[in-house]
Amino acid sequence: MSDLSNYRKSYEKSELLETNIPDDPMNLFHRWFHETEEFGGEGEVNAMTVSTIGLDGFPKSRVVLLKKFNEEGFVFYTNYNSEKGKAITENPNICLSFFWHSMERQVIIKGIAQKTTELDSDNYFDSRPEGSRLGAIVSPQSDIIPSREYLEKNLNDLEKQYQNSEILRPKHWGGYLVKPVSVEFWQGRANRLHDRIRYTILENFEWKIERLSP
């Protein structure tokens, strides 16, 4: 058994105060995202954890890439027939989380996922490299397969099939827009007295801002 009780770090890089935050969480997310992008040195700033409630009743988390965010919410793309996609169909209430360790920051978003328009999915699919487009077609995501060779053979066959043809988006692949109902911003502070500010959407579509104890 590995004892990790001595793994400690003092967080002292920044602060999160009610006097320096906007009324809308998307504006603060935009600020934090670009500060991390410019100064944080993160490999993939847009890497986020998506948590769903599976058909077996267990929560499951996995890392995917955020591809767009705006005043409506957060967009990522996946196979709708995957374990993740089936879970969202059954229960669209999901959680997104970002951990930017270089900036000592976390963002936790509870929201409701809905499919993006087919046009949005088509446009993003068409922007992907050819290999990624073929990969989306050839992979029966989350299904049990016999071997790695099975995937590679199917990909080789598909490359020949589409050698002189346009690669169109399969209908089972596309985007999700996650509309936030709450967004929590976490800034590491000294002595484990971290700053936690939570935005919660109200019925009039304004945001309630609250400080949470660390």
Respond yes or no: is residue 133 known to be catalytic: no
Q: Closest Cα to residue 174, out of 134, 111, 123?
A: 123
Q: Tell me the HSE value of 110 on the side-chain side, using a 13 A CA sphere.
A: 10
Cα–Cα distance between 209 and 169 in angstroms, integer?
41
Q: Closest Cα to residue 65, out of 75, 55, 73?
A: 75
Cα–Cα distance between 32 and 174 in angstroms, integer?
27
Q: What is the per-residue DSSP string for 9-34?
A: ----S----GGG--SSHHHHHHHHHH
- Crossing angle (nearest 10°) for helices 118-127 and 130-138: 120
Residue 102 neighbours by CB under 8 Å, 6+ apart: 36, 40, 41, 42
Rg of the chain taking only CA atoms, in angstroms? 20
Q: Which of 62, 105, 133, 192 is catalytic?
A: 192
The residues annotated with a catalytic role in the active site are 192
